Amino acid sequence: MKTLQPPSEVSADTVASARPRPFVLPRVGVEAESRAARRAWLTLWVAFGTLCVLLGVAVQVAYQYVTHSDVDRTARADNIRGEVYAQIADGPQVRLSTADRSLPVGAVVESTRGASGRIQLFESSSATVLSEGRLQLVRMDVGRFINRSTVILRQDQGSVRYEPASDIVVELAGGRATVRKGDSTIWIQPDGTARVLVYDGEVSLEGASALPVTVRAGQRADLRPDRQISSPVARAMSLFDNGDFARQADGWETIDVQNGPPDTDGERYFVPGPTVDGQPLSALRILRNSIALSHGETGLRRPLDVDVSGFRSLYVEALIRVDSASLSGGGQVGSEYPMMLRVQYEGVREGTRPDWLVGFFYANPENRPVRNAVEVPQGEWVTYRVNLMDQNEERKPFRVLSFEVMGQGHSYDARVAAVRLVGD
């Protein structure tokens, strides 16, 4: 039988080492919490930045909408004279009547020879499509929220008169023209050159140069298809040279006509003329001494082939002096004068030849017929000027064919100097 022994004495160190120790969790969660916090703040900042970007985009979109939101406007055609047509979108070409007609953006208006039609835009602006002109309404709108208007037209043919209340942009073959307030004509030449004539206000031309060219009232300039712009010059232009006879008969053809029994021919001399503004001028003297008392014509003719449909005025200018004439007034039927000016031309209606002439005489003691004539003092230089565009519509010139200076009748002696045909 086993006998149990009492435990031996235990040391203090042994007891201490045998006590249970407290359990401490490791610190692995601190770094994770820090990283999570950083991610949260980063997410918040990214979200805030995205919100700012979206707000900026929204503001920009709103600004663009407010500043660029437009409302299309329509034009109105009125004052139709002759055959004027309009084509809207892809529809058929329709003839415009004298009644008002609405024209939307994209419409093309075209006039025939001698015809015209006014296009009323908005803000009291207008564009009149003249003879053989063609104009497209490219853009016509106003701002939806702001006070702004835009008018862009395209012209590729004929002449158009512009009377804008605000800027009108005209697209041309060689660039563009901005027509300011006033009154201007843009006339497309056969080679595509746009001739700009400014009567009031100004027109800014843009071509190849970085700087636009400003054409002011009283000036004209050309914008060519190669985008080159001529320097502005005086608007009025002489349609032929050597009208001052500085080169005598250069460029002129002689006129010698006789009717009735054989008689003497007239003669032409180049002599000193009047002095104007201190400058002595040359003159053409036309002289005939009839023997058989038969009708004769003596003078010079200048052949021309000039389209004048785009001019508002066409002036005949000359200095005249009548020294003697054997016939009283205008002769037997009022058609023979010692000095005459004649312009031969096509009328606005195709196939017509209205022509124009004027005679000068100094006395009519026999009370002969006098038609298309002006009485002048004998032996004195007088200035003559007339606008051929002041005639009624059927007699206005469209294309000038020739210009003549001559004497007609039996015996006559007269002089002429400083002859000009001026388009303006």
pLDDT of amino acid 244: 97
- Please give the distance of CA 169 from its chain centroid, rounded to a whole number: 11
Over residues 117-138, the pLDDT tens digits come to: 999 997 789 999 999 999 999 9
Question: How does DSSP classify residue 40?
Answer: H
**Residue closest to 288 by CA, chosen among 380, 415, 410:** 410
Q: Which of 10-19, 291-300, 379-388 has the lowest mean pLDDT?
A: 10-19
CB 416 within 8 A of CB 318: yes
- Residue whose C-alpha is closest to residue 177's, from 217, 212, 141, 128: 212
Instruction: Give the pLDDT confidence score for residue 71 in this predicted structure.
Output: 60
Q: Is the pLDDT of residue 398 over 50?
A: yes
Could you read off the pLDDT of 265-317 as tens digits, one per residue? Answer: 999 999 999 999 999 999 999 999 999 999 999 999 999 999 999 999 999 99
User: Average of pLDDT values for 351-357?
Assistant: 96
Question: What whole-number distance in Å separates Cα of residue 164 and Cα of residue 170?
Answer: 12
Instruction: Identify the pLDDT of residue 297.
Output: 96
Q: What is the DSSP string of 338-393?
A: SEEEEEEEEESSTT----EEEEEES--TT-----SEEE--TT--EEEEEEGGGS-G
Q: Which residues share a beta bridge with 182?
A: none
Q: Which two tokens stand for residue 359?
A: 């005679």
CA-CA distance, 256 to 286, in Å (whole number)?
A: 11
pLDDT at 70: 46
Domains parsed from the chain with CATH numbers: 70-235 (2.60.120.1440), 238-423 (2.60.120.260)
pLDDT for 286: 98
What pLDDT is recorded for position 86?
95
pLDDT digits (tens, 9 = 90+) for 87-119: 998 888 999 987 768 899 999 999 999 999 999
Which band of pLDDT confidence, cut at 50, 70 and 90, is reported for residue 13?
Answer: low
Integer Cα distance of 369 and 331 in angstroms: 7
Work out the pLDDT band at 4, boundaries 50, 70, 90: very low
Share of the chain above pLDDT 70, in %: 88
Evaluate whether 253 touches 301 at the Cβ level (below 8 Å). Answer: yes
Q: Pairing mode, if any, of strands 219-223 and 213-216?
A: unpaired
Q: Average model confidence (pLDDT) for the chain?
A: 89
First-to-final CA distance of the chain: 155
Q: Percent of the chain having pLDDT more than 90?
A: 73
- pLDDT of 5 > 90? The answer is no
Candidates 193, 315, 304, 314; CA nearest to 252 is 304
**Does residue 157 surpass a pLDDT of 60?**
yes
- pLDDT value for 66: 45
pLDDT band at 35 (very low <50, low <70, confident <90, very high): confident
Element (H, E) at 172: strand 168-172
Question: Can you count the helices (H) and strands (E) in the chain?
Answer: 2, 31
Burial class (CB in 10 A: 0-12, 13-18, 19+), 80: buried
In tens, the pLDDT along 207-235 reads 998 899 999 999 999 999 999 999 999 99
